[in-house]
Structure 1
Amino acid sequence: MSKNILVAPLNWGLGHATRCIPVIKALLNYGYQPIIASDGAALLLLQKEFPNVLSIELPSYNISYTKNGKFFKWKIIKSLPRLLKIIQAEKKATKYIIETHKISGIISDNRFGVYSKNIPSVFITHQLNVLSGTTTWMSTKTHQNIIKNFNECWIPDVDGPFNLSGKLGHPSALKIPTKYIGPLSRFTKHDDTFKNDLLVLLSGPEPQRTILEKKLLIELISYQGKVIFVKGIIEKEQTIQLMDNMTVYNFMTSPQLEKTINESARVLSRSGYTTIMDLAKLNKKAFFIPTPGQFEQEYLAKRLTEQYLVPSCKQNEFKLEMLKKIDNFKGLHLEVPDVNFKTLFGNLF
């Protein structure tokens, strides 16, 4: 009989869910039975991707951004008592799922309460150093203490100097069992002819996703070229709007998005880590606008700009003419072997 493996991504934007797609596919390919557990848009996305896989709703962290990014950290700190209660509810739900569905292993992508001391439990993260300004030491220590509850930590990156996550995923000292498994992407590169001059990819928590959407829809009205605009809003049905030179989608499924990225000359998006992994896999040129107040995205965007790979700017500073910088940068590319899921699963489950 196949082993039931619980896969639980955080509902924070869409990145945690989308990078679990290759993990779930690999589990199915190697004879395991994945069971998906999440909430909100992340759960809805994975239900669309895997309609025949059992899915379960977990308690929601309900984290939202502030309109002013500089206040976000303090909002999180203020929310800690509520978050701790939710994590306790998550632990209780996990225990019930394990008993009810005879779970043999857990893969948690940044869900703090989804683990068990009785079965192998894996934590996926690219942030072993959690940047938070003057409180980085505290947020990092807290995160690493949480990871200690798991048997292993899988880092979706490569070890060594030529990597994608920089200091986020490469701490100077660590006492946690870790494995650099290689970047996780649901996409495959195809040498397609470019049909789109620019692809806009949005996602992430509100209200910042909507704030950027409104800004870009105004800025791109005068863009000279064909634009595909994906809002990153997961809904029951796909919608398509034609707006002058733009075709606007609420969301795309993985096969459609893979095809669209491959057929697009340039990409404009947030600097979320999953997006960076996807664009590196597909060898794309891009422009990044990090989410205001999200230290991780601000660091990744700055690092890639300093390496002359991808230009970037602050959200309130973006102007249409800045997209011209893209052609002066190298773009993203990281040539690494595919993730060895067979060994990863076999050694743990």
Structure 2
Amino acid sequence: MNLEKRKKILVAPLNSGLGHATRCIPIIEALDNHGFEPIMASDGAALLLLKKEFPQHKALELPAYQMEYAKAHSLFNVRHLMRLGKMFAKITHEHKMVRDCVQQMGISGIISDSRPGVYYNGVPSVIITHHLNIISGDLPGLATRIQQSFIKKYRECWIPDVQASLNLSGKLGHSDDITIESVRYMGTLSRLHKTGTGKKYDLAVLLTIDGEHCLQLEDKLKELLLSFKGNVIFIRGVIEPEQSITQQGNVTYYNFMKSDELEEVLNNSSLVLARPSYSNIMDLSKLCKKVLFIPIPGNEEQLYLAKKLKKAGLTPYSHQKNFRLADIEKADIYKGLRDINGLAKWKDLFSLFEGK
């Protein structure tokens, strides 16, 4: 197809950890494969990651929210309600930037992953979220109503999960009380693919170093893993201009990995230790991995997902404060994550941008 005639689709993930950006990678690839021109937009580490994955595509910088709402919706604790005005001001500013971008660049469609200001009434706009219900904070009912008010501004809401009872997001992404029209379950999103499994590493650690709790866990793991009997690869999830690799005893540390490297490493690791972020769960389910999860302390969503998976007999979890090396052995008695075969039907989803 003539590149000049390709419709431009703005893809804008929230910069909160790396999960929103990583789950947009298969969307950008699919847009490319279906004759669209993806234009990436975000801020911070999320934007830097997308630039590394897709250096051939245009990338725009959006304003950073720098709000705790971006981290497990903790804004809705009572002590954070005073910050709502500031958050809405940032969303309004972002919305104005998107409007200018649409008008100046001829954008034909918008896919926002959890950025409530990235929409424009003049073009088909989609929001991707697995949050139909908010379970975090002191006021989950208020948080859910605000979340759903954001969602209603979009033409469609795509949930990265399946609608069937065997699903990944549970009550987060499924609701009998939802009043939002045009909710579509798009299937799970993962940038990774299952390949032949070898055993190059006994343990792979995935830990985005973002926040005090993650730094504390990293320090704890660095000490404990020196006594681990086996080869360990530790991916810190710190997106920097250059990749760095260091060795300490039996542990090889990477500051970050691109998708193809990470796919190879995880496929060839016997066990994975990670946070139960929703994007991690989707990735590791696609690879059918044995996993031990350690939720971020105080993150009610991660704890809910970890408990859900443990109850299903798939993966155990440990509390960060009490974690010991012996906890890793728990994963052997669980089934491991399974691919729920929720493949996105891209042609059907993208028909929105074709006016079909």
Partners of 1:188 and 1:269 in 2: CA distance? 18
1:317 is aligned, of 318, 322, 329, to 322
How far did residue 71 of structure 1 move? 9.9
Contact 2:110-2:123 within 8 A present in 1 as well: yes
| Unmatched 5+ stretches in structure 2 | none
SS state at 1:187 partner? coil
| Distance 1:235-1:43 versus aligned 2 partners, 3 A rule | same
| Unmatched 5+ stretches in structure 1 | none
Match of 2:23 in 1: 19
The answer to whether residue 55 in structure 2 is matched with residue 51 in structure 1 is yes
Partners of 1:303 and 1:260 in 2: CA distance? 26
Contact 2:12-2:115 within 8 A present in 1 as well: yes
| Shift >6 Å, 4+ stretches | none
Match of 1:88 in 2: 92
Partners of 2:89 and 2:122 in 1: CA distance? 22
TM-score by length of 2: 0.94
Contact 1:121-1:151 within 8 A present in 2 as well: yes
* Greater Cα shift, 193-202 or 207-216: 207-216
| Distance 1:76-1:231 versus aligned 2 partners, 3 A rule | farther
Match of 1:290 in 2: 295
Match of 1:206 in 2: 211
Match of 2:114 in 1: 110
Partners of 1:288 and 1:236 in 2: CA distance? 29
1:263 is aligned, of 255, 264, 268, to 268
The answer to whether residue 9 in structure 2 is matched with residue 5 in structure 1 is yes
Kindly, what percent of the aligned residue pairs are identical?
Answer: 48
How far did residue 170 of structure 1 move? 0.5
Residues 1-349 of structure 1 mapped to structure 2, 5 A cutoff: 1-63=5-67, 73-74=77-78, 76-176=80-180, 177-203=182-208, 205-349=210-354
Partners of 1:74 and 1:119 in 2: CA distance? 36
Letter in 1 for 2:229: Q
Partners of 1:143 and 1:127 in 2: CA distance? 8
Partners of 2:120 and 2:224 in 1: CA distance? 49
| Distance 1:224-1:76 versus aligned 2 partners, 3 A rule | farther
Contact 2:108-2:353 within 8 A present in 1 as well: no
Contact 1:64-1:205 within 8 A present in 2 as well: no
TM-score by length of 1: 0.95
For the aligned residue pairs, the C-alpha RMSD in angstroms reads: 1.7
The CA deviation string for residues 133-177 of structure 1, in whole angstroms up to 9 with x for no partner, is 441111111101110000000000011210000100111122211
How far did residue 204 of structure 1 move? 6.1
SS state at 2:15 partner? coil
| Distance 1:14-1:236 versus aligned 2 partners, 3 A rule | same
SS state at 1:128 partner? coil
Partners of 1:140 and 1:64 in 2: CA distance? 16
SS state at 2:139 partner? helix
Contact 1:71-1:293 within 8 A present in 2 as well: no
The CA deviation string for residues 18-45 of structure 1, in whole angstroms up to 9 with x for no partner, is 0000000000001100100000000000
